[in-house]
Every structure is written in structure tokens, then in C-alpha cells.
């Protein structure tokens, strides 16, 4: 998707509206002057702006200007098969020690603990980012974003060590390095693994009529580490499907009208009903029309203390992709010190190039 959009923008043939990830990814277009700010449109229609929940525009705004309209919110969670857990008298783990105990029980009886793969590096990174945040909290990564920190921070190194420990414990399927997102999703939906750590975009599939586990799937917060400082109510996520209007759009009023359609109460209700996605507006939802799994997740989010962005979204495409590749390398056996040391050098090189 992005290579094609980027090529169209470079050729001055961009669509009037396109979807972008927030933060670093969106900022590349903003810095290039390719995106139309929405402040004027919101000022002309204050009622439209008031529909949105607090904080929705935080990660699509730069220097006081709003450059995109999110249409939904995604968060990462621990999905688990209640039937498998009940069979072994287990509860979803709330700490890393409990997670290892659960893994041991499953492995000893031939049950795959996690549907997990590293063929798509971004999918594997979702799990790792939660581990890193639970160990060190949000500050180490925030310092990376602000360029006051280092990838050799203990939370990243220990996070890599934890992932290698999980590999050694048998937490992941045989051949997980060659398994992509679609394969792991199907594995979990077919009842072939007990747990699945993924974004809430999977709710629509996991909880659909076609899912083999739709009646037995539950959702939980990702566990904390006993010696970590991360909070169990800190959620990894992002504003999603952020609609942006290109600066070259011929009819910006028509483009704004299209954005308003996506934020209309009825459209937000349909999105929540069909996909289980979290809404960005204050539209009232009928619980009887929603996926039960989506309702369960929404209830957990009522205690959310903070949301930290998916790392590749926050970092932007160049450094974000390299972070994901680093995670893939660690899972393949490279020492965390070497892998993150290489990432640190890569970041320094990118930053140096940006100065010239």
C-alpha cells in the first residue's frame, strides 16, 4: 500500500484522500507539505469536532495543526481460548511468572501456548513491545522518539532475552519464524493454540460467525513483570485508518464531507458492530448489536491509564521497519545486545543523514 501511495504522491498524482498510520508515518507526509490541515474545517463546524472523544487527535497533530481524522482505535490485547484454559483449570496470566507456569502446563500436554509467528515482523513486534513496556514503562521508548535515549537501554535488552526465553520454553509453534499473521490468526481461530497476542483489528475475525472459537474466546490485559515498572493498564495501540486530505485535492470541501460521513454516528455504529473496532466518537452503541468480544475489550479499557503507540507507527517507516527487523533477528537467535546495538548505529546513521 505505502509504496504505491508514495509513488503516486511523488508523481503528483495522489488521491484526494488516503489513509495513513499516525505519528511518524503521517509526519513524513506533513513535513513534505503533502497533507491538508483540518483546523479550518473543524473551526467552521465546531459541532463536528465535539463529536470526538478526548485525545483522538493527539497522534495526528503536529505544531498545533490536525492533519488526519481517525476512524477507529486499535489496542493490543491477550486473547485466550476459555475452553482450553478451563480444561486445565487455568486462568489467564496476570504476571510473567504466571505466564511461564501456564506455558509449562500446555507444553507438557502438547498444547501450543501462543499462536505466534515472525514472518511478518510487525506482527511479532506487537508482542515484544508489550514485553518491553511492562519491563521499563513508557519512558525508555519515549526517549528514543525524542532522541535522548538509546536502544541499549536495559528494557530493550531484557525484552529480547525474554522473547528468547519464551522460544526455549516452547511458547511458540514449531516453525514460527516462517509463519505470517494470517497463519497465526487461523491457528488461533481453529482452536490450535491457547493464546494470541494481537491488535483489536482481529476481533472482527475472532468473534465472527465463521470463527471456530467465537463462543469460547476471552480477552485480557497483557501480564506485568514482577520486577518491571510498566502498568497492566497501559495499552499498546493507535488511532487507526486515519483519513488524510492531500494538499493538492481539487475539491477540499467535498473531501471534508467524506470525512464527516465516516465520523457520523450511524457509520461508527456499523463499524463497531461489524468489526468490533473501538469508536472515535461519542456515538451511543447498542450492546445487543455488538460482538461480545468487543464489549469485553471495551470494558477492560475503562480502566486504561495510558496508551503507548505501536513502535513502528511512532518511529515512522524507515526506523520503524528496522526496529521490526531487529525483533525478527532476535527471535532468530541473534543476541539482543548485538541486534539492538546494530539498531542504535542505524538510528544514529539515519539521524546524521537527516542533518545534511
Residues 218 and 140 in one domain: yes
List all residues 6 or more positions away from 231 whose beta carbon is below 8 Å from its beta carbon: 137, 224, 305, 306
* pLDDT tens-place string over residues 210-255: 888 989 999 999 999 999 999 999 999 988 889 999 999 999 999 9
229 and 248 together in one domain: no
Neighbours of 47 (CB within 10 A): 7
d(CA 333, CA 242): 36
Question: What integer best gives the mean pLDDT of the chain?
Answer: 93
- Tell me how far apart the alpha carbons of residues 263 and 277 are, in angstroms, rounded to a whole number: 13
Q: Are strands 72-81 and 61-62 parallel, antiparallel or unpaired?
A: unpaired
Q: Are 200 and 277 in contact, with CB atoms under 8 Å apart?
A: yes
pLDDT (average), residues 262-291: 84
Helices (H), ranges, 137-264: 139-145, 154-169, 181-189, 203-206, 252-263
* pLDDT given at position 34: 94
Q: Among candidates 161, 159, 219, 167, which has minimal Cα distance to 188?
A: 219
At which of 286, 303, 320 does a domain end?
A: 303
Same domain for 131 and 274, yes or no, is no
Count Cβ atoms below 10 Å from residue 12 Cβ, excluding itself. 9
Residues 100 and 166 in one domain: yes
Cβ neighbours for 348, distance < 8 A, ≥ 6 positions apart: none
Rg (CA), the chain: 21
The total number of residues written for the chain in this structure: 356
- Please say if the pLDDT value at position 356 is more than 70: no
Whether 229 and 139 map to the same domain: the answer is yes
Would you give the distance in Å from CA 330 to the centre of its chain?
A: 20
Residues 183 and 125 in one domain: yes
- Cα separation, 42 vs 38, in Å, equals 6
Do 174 and 278 fall within a single domain? no
DSSP 289: G
Please state the domain count of the chain: 2
**Is residue 68 within 8 Å of residue 243, measured between CB atoms?**
yes
Closest alpha carbon to 317 in 3, 13, 97, 25: 25
* Domain containing residue 176: CATH number: 3.40.190.10
- 197 and 150 share a domain? yes
Q: Are residues 214 and 136 in the same domain?
A: yes
pLDDT of residue 108: 97
Pairing of strands 72-81, 17-20: unpaired
Say whether 72 sits in a helix, a strand or coil.
strand
Separation between Cα atoms, residue 110 and residue 84, nearest integer Å: 12
Crossing angle of helices 154-169 and 121-136, in 10° steps, is 120
pLDDT of 127-186, one tens digit each?
Answer: 999 999 999 999 999 999 999 999 999 999 999 999 999 999 999 999 999 999 999 999
Amino acid at each position: 500500500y505505502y509504496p504505491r501511495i508514495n509513488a503516486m504522491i511523488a508523481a503528483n498524482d495522489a488521491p484526494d484522500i488516503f489513509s495513513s498510520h499516525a505519528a511518524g508515518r503521517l509526519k513524513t507526509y506533513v513535513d513534505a507539505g503533502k497533507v491538508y490541515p483540518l483546523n479550518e474545517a473543524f473551526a467552521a463546524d465546531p459541532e463536528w469536532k465535539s463529536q470526538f472523544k478526548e485525545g483522538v487527535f493527539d497522534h495526528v497533530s503536529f505544531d498545533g495543526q490536525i492533519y488526519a481524522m481517525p476512524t477507529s482505535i486499535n489496542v493490543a490485547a491477550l486473547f485466550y481460548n476459555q475452553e482450553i484454559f478451563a480444561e486445565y483449570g487455568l486462568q489467564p496470566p496476570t504476571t510473567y511468572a504466571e505466564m511461564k507456569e501456564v506455558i509449562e502446563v500446555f507444553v507438557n500436554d502438547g498444547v501450543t501456548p501462543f499462536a505466534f509467528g515472525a514472518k511478518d515482523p510487525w506482527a511479532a513486534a506487537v508482542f515484544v513491545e508489550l514485553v518491553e513496556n511492562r519491563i521499563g514503562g513508557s519512558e525508555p521508548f519515549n526517549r528514543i522518539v525524542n532522541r535522548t535515549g538509546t536502544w541499549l537501554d536495559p528494557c530493550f535488552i531484557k525484552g529480547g532475552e525474554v522473547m528468547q526465553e519464551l522460544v526455549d520454553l516452547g511458547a511458540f509453534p514449531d516453525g514460527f519464524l516462517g509463519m505470517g499473521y494470517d497463519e497465526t490468526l487461523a491457528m488461533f481461530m481453529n482452536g490450535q493454540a491457547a493464546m494470541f497476542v494481537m491488535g483489536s483489528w482481529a476481533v472482527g475475525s475472532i468473534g465472527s460467525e465463521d470463527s471456530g472459537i467465537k463462543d469460547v474466546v476471552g480477552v485480557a490485559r497483557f501480564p506485568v513483570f514482577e520486577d518491571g515498572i510498566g502498568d497492566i493498564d497501559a495499552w499498546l495501540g493507535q488511532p487507526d485508518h486515519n483519513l488524510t486530505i492531500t494538499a493538492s485535492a481539487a475539491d477540499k470541501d467535498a473531501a471534508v464531507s467524506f470525512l464527516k460521513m465516516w465520523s457520523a454516528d450511524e457509520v461508527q455504529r456499523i463499524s463497531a458492530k461489524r468489526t468490533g473496532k473501538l469508536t472515535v466518537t461519542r456515538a451511543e452503541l447498542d450492546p445487543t448489536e455488538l460482538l461480545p468480544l468487543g464489549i469485553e475489550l471495551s470494558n477492560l479499557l475503562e480502566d486504561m491509564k495510558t496508551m503507548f503507540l505501536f513502535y513502528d507507527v511512532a518511529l515512522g517507516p524507515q526506523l520503524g521497519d528496522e526496529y521490526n527487523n531487529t525483533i525478527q533477528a532476535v527471535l532468530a537467535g541473534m543476541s539482543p545486545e548485538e541486534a539492538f546495538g546494530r539498531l542504535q548505529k542505524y538510528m544514529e546513521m539515519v539521524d546524521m543523514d537527516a542533518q545534511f
